[in-house]
Amino acid sequence: MLDDNNDLQVYTIHDVEKFMQITQRTVYDHMKSGNLKGIKVGNKWRFTRKQILDYIQRLERKVEIKKDAKD
């Protein structure tokens, strides 16, 4: 789905759901919290490859921080 040669392609909420294996509600929750940034086109949300990868990196950092806090 997130092909390196497709930097200009945009993805839908459904694409993010399928790729991340999460629910639509979870996608919206991450958008509301600011973890996942998107672009609203009309009444639909779209995401660039970079926005999705940045979202994944933010999640990875949170896991690392929580792990470090337990040590």
- Full 3-state SS string of the chain: CCCCCCCCCEEEHHHHHHHHCCCHHHHHHHHHHCCCCCEEECCEEEEEHHHHHHHHHHHHHHHHHHHHHHC
pLDDT 10s digit of each residue in the chain, 71 long? 555 556 679 999 999 999 999 999 999 999 999 999 999 999 999 999 999 999 999 888 776 666 666 66
CB atoms within 10 A of CB 29: 13
Q: Determine the CATH number of domain 10-70.
A: 1.10.1660
How do the domains of the chain map onto residue ranges? Answer: 10-70
Looking at residue 58, its pLDDT comes to 85
CB atoms within 10 A of CB 12: 14
